[in-house]
Amino acid sequence: MTPETALFVVTRAVETVLWSIAWPLGIGLAVGLVVSILQATTQIQEQTLAFIPKIIAILLAVVWFGKSILTLLMDFTRLMFEMARGVVGG
């Protein structure tokens, strides 16, 4: 395996991970921000109030964007198997 091929694989892996977590992470961040603002305005400092809405929002985002996340992961896996077949010579 050449250094260029290894760099390509690592780059694609990082891109795949970043695109896979972008929507759930962004939605969790937005919900956390809204909950923090609500906590600051009402002066309620309950830890579970900040934790549970973020978990629910991230789970809903994974369900909502699950098909596109799975498609990204399957495309990356397919690419890796095709590259492995080329390296092995099959």
Structure-token pair, residue 28: 């969790």
The 10s digit of each residue's pLDDT in 1-34 is: 788 888 999 999 999 999 999 999 999 999 999 9
> Residue 88: is it exposed, middle or buried by C-beta count within 10 angstroms (0-12/13-18/19+)?
exposed
According to DSSP, residue 45 is labeled -
pLDDT digits (tens, 9 = 90+) for 60-74: 999 999 999 999 999
pLDDT tens digits, one per residue of 36-69: 999 889 888 887 788 899 999 999 999 999 999 9
